[in-house]
Amino acid sequence: MTQLVPAAALALLGAASTYIFYDQRRRQEVMAATETTTTDALTEGQVELTGTVEPIETVESPVDGTEGVIVDWRLRASPVGHDEAGNEDVIEGLREAEFVLSDQGGEARVDPEGSQLVVSEESKASEYHQHVHYDQIEAFDREVQGDHGGSDREGVHVRADGTLMAEEFNEEYDSYTLEHEIIQPGDEVYVLGTATRENDTWVVGNGDGKFLISDQSEEELTADLETKKWIALAAAIVFAVGSLYFLILG
């Protein structure tokens, strides 16, 4: 009976990896089936655009203060007694601001809420702190705690998941890592989303189809999704074999 618990856990992990595999494959299929267009030739429904980010509003990275239109941030920490840093997610969040995508055909507004963000290595930042300093954690907590309540700025969406209490953090963790992925003003981006017409303005955002924003080209993005797809499939197979192993033992 005791073997059923790890078997069930591995089965759930296998199911999650299988879902990721099919989701990545579906994204590739939608990208391949959607022809890149320009903002002056948009029609309602699933669209694919490339262009330059022109900010309407900006949000700030809590990691290093960089201004962006999308900032996906997190704090990972190593519990006391563990050697590896960053092996436990403590708190994470997302800061997004609507922006204008400009191309040779004109402009369209992009509402990034609900998008999948995929960025290049150049748009990632990571700060490793070997020792925990109360003042630094307290300052970071002050910076992000307001994100739990959302934003009252028009066109800006923020959220935070998890809790961070400086005093307890000092007692529980040896080291920590701050990370972010970011889209900045002036970046060249690829957007796959749903176009709608609002008050004579084209808006690309979340809808019935896939919604993805990246600073990579379509070719780079396709290759990245291909790699992630096969990693997910390999993980699903390993978890399935592990689950069967424990079931047989049980």
- What one-character-per-residue DSSP string does 83-138 give? SSTT-EEEEEEEEEE-EEEEETTEEEEE--TTPEEE--GGGEEEEEESS--HHHHH
**Same domain for 58 and 149?**
yes
| 4 lies in the same domain as 70 | no
Rounded to two decimals, the pTM is 0.80
| Bridge partner residues of 67 (DSSP) | 60
- Alpha carbons 193 and 211: distance in angstroms, whole number: 4
What are residue 172's phi and psi, to 5 degrees?
-95, -25
- Count how many domains the chain has: 2
- 145 shares its domain with 179: yes
For the stretch 133-162, pLDDT in tens is 888 888 888 889 889 888 889 999 999 998
Q: Sign of torsion, CA 202 206 208 209? A: positive
10 pLDDT band, cuts 50/70/90, is low
- The angle, 0 to 180 degrees and rounded to 10, between the axes of the packed helices 218-249 and 4-33 is 160
Residue 19 makes CB contacts below 8 A (sequence gap 6+) with: none
In a domain, 44, yes or no: no
Higher pLDDT, 166 or 27: 166
Most confident region among 1-10, 45-54, 72-81, 125-134 by mean pLDDT: 45-54
Q: Residue 210 has what pLDDT?
A: 84
Q: Are 228 and 199 contained in the same domain?
A: no
The residue among 209 and 78 whose pLDDT is bigger is: 78
43 assigned to some structural domain = no
Angstrom CA distances, 65 to 43, 164, 184, stand at: 37, 19, 12
User: Does residue 102 register a pLDDT over 90?
Assistant: yes
Tell me, yes or no, whether 118 and 222 share the same domain: no
Q: Same domain for 150 and 208? A: yes
The torsion angles phi and psi of 31, rounded to 5 degrees, stand at -60, -45
Most confident of 51-55, 75-79, 144-148, 216-220: 51-55
Q: Could you tell me if 103 and 223 lie in one domain?
A: no
Determine the pLDDT at residue 37: 87
- Does 20 share its domain with 106? no
Q: Name, in order, each residue with C-beta under 8 angstroms of 238's C-beta and a sequence gap of 6 or more.
A: none
Give the residue numbers spanning the domain of 23. Answer: 1-33+217-250
Q: Is 95 in the same domain as 156?
A: yes
Residue 46 belongs to some domain of the structure: no
- Cβ-contact 93, 147 below 8 angstroms: yes
Q: 18 and 128, same structural domain? A: no
CA–chain centroid gap for 203, Å, is 21
**Which of 151, 41, 148, 30 lies closest to 91, judged by CA?**
148
pLDDT at 193: 94
